[in-house]
Amino acid sequence: MRITVIGTGYVGLVTGASLAYLGHQAVCVDVNEEKIKLLKSGVMPLWEPGLESMIRDVELQGRLDYSTDVSASVPVSDAVFLTLGTPSSESGEVDLSALWSVVRSIAPMLHRDTLLIIKSTVPAGTCEQIEAYLHQQFPASASIAVAHNPEFLRQGSAVRDFLAPDRLVFGASRPEAHHRLEEIYAAIQSPVIKCGLREAELIKCASNAFLAMKISYANMMSDLCDALGISVDAVAEGMGLDRRIGSEFLRAGAGYGGSCFPKDLRALIALAAKEHLDMELLKATEAINRQRVQVICRRLEGIFGSLEDKQITIYGLAFKPNTDDTREAPALRISSMLQEAGARIRAYDPVVAGLPDRQVDVDTDMYEAADGSDCVVIVTDWDQFNRLDWGRLRQVMRSPYIFDARNMLDIAVMTENCKRYGLHYMSLGRPSIAPDVPLTID
């Protein structure tokens, strides 16, 4: 099939490349000329594992192209995917202006057999409005169908998530649209949910909100474990083995960030408010997530008293590993709060080279970043931090404190390292370890 994908962020690019990989003829379109120029010259505009090699393969086979011009590909496409960003507005509602602007501009180019597939995350009701708009504006092409096919792509594993999904969701108001989506995804083995447009829209936001809620639940339990002097690891493992609960997204730590969970929670709360419903559970989820920063800062103040003139090194700036995305990253909130408390901040991230508009020195070497530091705080669970040379780190640091705010390091391994190198290790909801007094609570 000939497919146009409009919007080349990580969702659009992964979608275009994966559809080409599945055998379709895909064109990725974006108004950003610089981005399209980069893609055409073989430079990746974003960092997503596995994407570049897949793109090279499909380019060689002549199945993926890039363009800034919708009018060249949309009129000859069997399906048009919209993968535009839908950020939060000030009020927490979703800003759909980019999506609508593209819908208006391509509407006259859609022919009667084209399927318009909205992949962007949108509030329930949006796709019905788009369908109604098309039929009003172009009564002659009343057969143009709109579908909603939400994405469940995690940054860092988006290619795998696209090609081997837990489920495919096909939302549409007509059977022929469901059928077209089945054809597009025929090569993918996965359960398929065929439902209405609004159901598909809600499946996406409700799934993200549920995952965020699981994380906040784990964080709430982690605070209780700290108070009781027991380990949240054992509690999460014991809960997660119950198949009704599941072990994923139960990892306590610095909280969730990124461009999806915070935004989708706000959007659901705003959508429900219009229906006079108060999403108390989601508001609590947000509040717990916001408080993670305070929990971390209070722990540091508990050690140092005042943070005035203390040097804190943040390890990890991206909102999670295997991405260079710092949107709503806990590291940003933590560094701001520590700075307000008087600390000097240095930072290291394997892929994020700098933070625009922030007074944070980002080093390219993790030991340099820790030079003269009173505490290293791990905020993103990059695998690289599992292979730190603890002896070398201790030598460059002024004080011996390691705060693992992602609970990523193994307690037994860190007990050994604390003994050997005189380190103090803390995490969240797990016993702290001092050099000669292993497994004690602060």
133 exposure class (CB count in 10 Å sphere: 0-12, 13-18, 19+): middle
Integer Cα distance of 434 and 420 in angstroms:
11
* Rounded (5°) CA angle 12-18-24: 105
- Residues 6 or more apart whose CB falls under 8 angstroms from that of 345 comprise 311, 312, 313, 314, 335, 338, 339, 359, 360, 361
DSSP type of residue 350: S
Q: Which residues are annotated as a binding site for substrate?
A: 204, 249-253, 257, 320
Q: Which residue of 35, 119, 148, 251 would you call a contact of ligand UGA, by CB under 6 A?
A: 251
Please indicate whether residue 297 is annotated as part of the active site. Answer: no
By C-beta, is 11 or 74 nearer to ligand UGA? 11
The length of the chain, given as a count of residues? 442
Among 127, 205, 225, 260, the one annotated catalytic:
260
Residue type, 438: P
170 near ligand UGA, judged by CB under 6 A: no
Interacting residues with ligand UGA between 119 and 138 (CB under 6 A): 121
> How many chain residues touch ligand UGA (CB under 6 A)?
21
The piece of 43-51, 86-94, 253-261, 294-302 that touches ligand UGA (CB under 6 A) is 253-261
CA-wise closest residue to 384 among 325, 326, 316, 317: 316
- Residues forming the annotated binding site for NAD(+)? 30, 35, 86, 121, 263, 327
- How are the residues of the chain apportioned to helix, strand and coil, as percentages rounded to the nearest 5? 45, 15, 40
- Using the rule CB under 6 A, is 205 a contact of ligand UGA? no
Region near ligand UGA per CB under 6 A, out of 20-28, 55-63, 243-251, 426-434: 243-251
Q: Interface with ligand UGA by CB under 6 A: which range of 68-76, 185-193, 248-256, 339-347?
A: 248-256
Locate all alpha helices (DSSP H) within 33-96, ordered by sequence: 33-40, 51-60, 70-73
151 binds ligand UGA (CB under 6 A): yes
| Using rule CB under 6 A, residue 333 touches ligand UGA | no
208 counts as binding ligand UGA under rule CB under 6 A: yes
Residues belonging to the active site: 260
Q: Given the rule CB under 6 A, which residues bind ligand UGA?
A: 121, 151-155, 208, 211, 215, 249-251, 253, 255-258, 260-261, 319-320
